Structure 1
Amino acid sequence: MASSGKEIASELLPLIRVYKDGTVERLMGSPYVSPSLHDPEYGVCSKDITISHNPKISARLFCPQTLNQHVPNQKLPVLVYFHGGGFCFESAFSSDHHRFLNRLVSKAQVVAISVEYRLAPEVPLPFCYQDCWAALQWVASHIENEERVSAINKEPWLASYGDFDRVYIGGDSTGGNIVHNIAMKAGTESLSVKIVGAFMSHPYLLSSKPLALEPKGEEFEKYLPCLVWGFLNPSAPGGLDNPMVNPVGLGAPSMAGLGCSKLLVCLSSNDELRPRGVWYYNLVMESGWKGEVELFEVEGEGHAFQIFSVAETHNVKKIINKLASFLV
């Protein structure tokens, strides 16, 4: 029994608790914050939009406030962003990710769409990937003929300021996992825009075989990243070798088919997922993919530090500057 008096059906500590009445208690995650049409600290305006009513997919849209003051008809790169949070907590509307996107949009001068995909366990995997692909298709649809765009709820900021020759995707942690899956899908399925680049910070990736710096044996089975996948996607074919989490797992297509021109993998020296990020970078290098891939690492920081840090520290500025230079 939990302190609420309700009976617990299952739990994934320290992340979530599921009760027998079907309710889910999220034990981690930052509070929701409202968008702002005038952010005095970063000079970024934001608003919440609906991408789809069925299924319900929404997003937070970010745009620099200074746009068009000095450059008529200015067009900016478009970033479609997928937040982290173990597939089961955090949000495009959370304070952590709102603050991060404000910083990045201000520095990079991009239009960003932070996707509010549906969370597990209420909406099980792989629906988050489908939601994020639908959001990318919605963004891409803005360059189609005017009649078609009007029919799909044209977004004025995106239509007016977005440069659809410079579309990027990005994400942190499990959002980085989503980036890989979306980039692979973009390599095989029709999309009316070309993804120029993709970045992933501290990506969540696994396989059934531990890497050198990961726990072994029973400890690997108890390793929180492994528990997350097993708890949220227990019926995934291949388990930890499912292609959604293992890029070279059971039945995975060749990574040479990544559907973007350049890729940036951002890591931190003190992150327990660092070995998987290096592993992923090497897999891309060895795959025969024809794009440009770069590995960028920040010393002395932990997992997704740029998301969690309230202060704009030297290292936060360092990774923001790197991402901004990538989004050109």
Structure 2
Amino acid sequence: MESTANEVVQELPGLVKVYKDGSVERLMGSPYAPPSPQPDPETGVSSKDITISENPSISARLYLPKLTQTIEKLPILVYFHGGGFCLESAFSLFNQRYLNALVSEAKVIAVSVEYRLAPEHPLPAAYEDCWTALQWVASHSFDNEVEKDPWLLNHGDFDRLFIGGDSAGGNLVHNTALQAGAQGLKGRVKISGGFLSHPHFLCSGTEDDKSLPTLIWEFVYPSAPGGTGNALINPFGPGKPSLAGLGCSKLLVCVAEKDELRDIGIMYYNAVKESGWKGEIEVYETMGENHAFHVLNFGTQNSRIMIKRLAAFLN
């Protein structure tokens, strides 16, 4: 018989278990991968880990592509990883190999944010962390008290600042862009564009209560005002912040034919187009593929094509 300390008190089936003693077991995810201060042999990309904030604890992995000249200014990508707000990490193998490839292909500096995960840190913690990280990056554009990172300082082009993310990270991109539109970034930095790959949204009326995207939301933000109708996860309909307020000048929404979130990604694309937003938005669909295939099935032909498509957007 199991001891009561080992009793499961909360569960996201097949993904996460929470035990009575407060411990959390993650049943999915890729292992930790160390950064590569020396250029990665395959891509020539260097990476290092930095601390953005001690309290709350926010860190990031920075990526620098192979430089052709000493003084070279490059676009900046602030990246939010996927994993349903409760899995994966900026320091995981899946994200390391994906960002090495994207940074090499796009020739950008990337800041992959290690935001706090649910259930230890229920939402809105991840939203707050991603906003803090973006403001930290923007603060490199002017003189202030923040301790600056030399890669961003010497090689970052703050006129070409992008945000991007996959799955839950795509949701984080949307909400961060809305916040940037409402509040602005430090140093009056503007977000040039954002990509949302297979974004995690819900829409009342199209989701049954037992769908995985719904179960994930209820697990990671149990106290969400309005539940699955909360604007953070459900940006559609009356009473929600206007999508015309997205604070960037272009968006790329990526969907995959076999992904259960495919239709809602198209719905988001259409809703932004119809909102009166002044930017440019495009949609890119990969046929025959499933959710986050370009990260999970890295190295396949379609994965390589998608990384090239994202790189073209960042340039």
Q: TM-score, normalised by structure 2?
A: 0.96
Q: CA deviation at 1:313?
A: 1.9
Q: Which amino acid aligns with 1:157?
A: W
- Counterpart of 1:196 (choices 189, 192, 197) is 192
Q: CA deviation at 1:235?
A: 1.7
Aligned match of 1:88? 86
Aligned CA distance change for structure 1 residues 233 and 5 (closer, same or farther; 3 Å): closer
Cα displacement string for residues 34-63 of structure 1 (whole angstroms, at most 9, x for unaligned residues) = 001220011100000000111110000001
Name stretches of at least 5 consecutive residues in structure 1 with no aligned partner: 215-219
Task: Kindly indicate whether the alpha-carbon contact (under 8 Å) linking 2:5 and 2:19 is maintained by their aligned counterparts in 1.
Answer: no
Superposed CA RMSD = 1.5
Residues in 1 aligned to 2:84 and 2:4: alpha-carbon distance in whole angstroms: 24
Q: CA offset at residue 190 of structure 1?
A: 2.5
How many angstroms apart in 1 are the aligned matches of 2:158 and 2:2?
A: 50
Residues in 2 aligned to 1:114 and 1:22: alpha-carbon distance in whole angstroms: 28
The residue that corresponds to 1:325 in the other structure is 312
Structure 2 unpaired stretches of 5+: none
**AA in 2 matched with 1:129:** Y
Q: Per the alignment, do residues 171 and 2 of structure 1 end up closer, same or farther by CA in structure 2, a change over 3 Å counting?
A: farther
C-alpha distance in 2 between matches for 1:30 and 1:126: 24
Deviations 1:64-93 (A, max 9, x none): 1x21x3x35210000000000010010000
Partner of 2:176: 182
Work out the CA distance in 2 between the residues paired with 1:302 and 1:238: 29
- Partners of 1:3 and 1:304 lie apart in 2 by 38
Q: Which string of whole-angstrom CA distances, capped at 9 and with x for unpartnered residues, describes residues 84-130 of structure 1?
A: 00100100001001110000000000000000000001111001000
Q: Cα deviation per residue 1:153-206 (whole Å; 9 max; x = unaligned)?
A: 210111111000000000000000000000000001031210000001000000
The answer for the alignment partner of 2:257 in structure 1 is 269
Q: Answer yes or no: is 1:172 the counterpart of 2:170.
A: no
The runs of at least 4 aligned residues of structure 1 exceeding 2 Å deviation read 1-5, 248-251
Q: Following the alignment from structure 1 to structure 2, what is the Cα–Cα distance between the partners of residues 208 and 23?
A: 33
Distance 1:223 1:18 in 2: 20
Aligned equivalents of 2:274, 2:2: Cα separation in 1: 49
When structure 1 is superposed on structure 2, of 288-297 and 301-310 the one drifting more is: 301-310
1:31 to 2:25 alignment: no
For 2:43, give the aligned amino acid: Y
Q: Which residue of 2 aligns with 1:217?
A: none
Alignment partners' CA distance in 1, 2:203 and 2:312: 32
1:307-318, aligned counterparts within 5 Å? 307-310=295-298, 312-318=299-305
SS in structure 2 at match of 1:10: strand
Identity %: 61
Aligned length: 312
In 2, Cα distance between equivalents of 1:112 and 1:4: 44
Normalized against structure 1, the TM-score is what?
A: 0.92
C-alpha distance in structure 2 between counterparts of 1:117 and 1:234, whole Å: 18
Q: Report the Cα distance in structure 1 between the residues aligned to 2:70 and 2:43, rounded to whole angstroms.
A: 22
SS in 2 for 1:86: coil
Q: Which amino acid aligns with 1:313?
A: T
Instruction: Check 1:163–1:21 CA distance in 2 against 1; reply closer, same or farther (3 A cut).
Output: same
Q: Distance in 2 between matches of 1:18 and 1:203?
A: 26
Distance in 1 separating the partners of 2:237 and 2:115:
25
* 1:256 pairs with 2:244: yes
1:1-328 alignment runs, 5 A limit: 6-37=6-37, 38-64=39-65, 66-67=66-67, 69=68, 71-145=69-143, 148=144, 151-191=145-185, 192=187, 193-210=189-206, 220-248=208-236, 251-310=239-298, 312-328=299-315
Paired residue secondary structure (1:39): coil
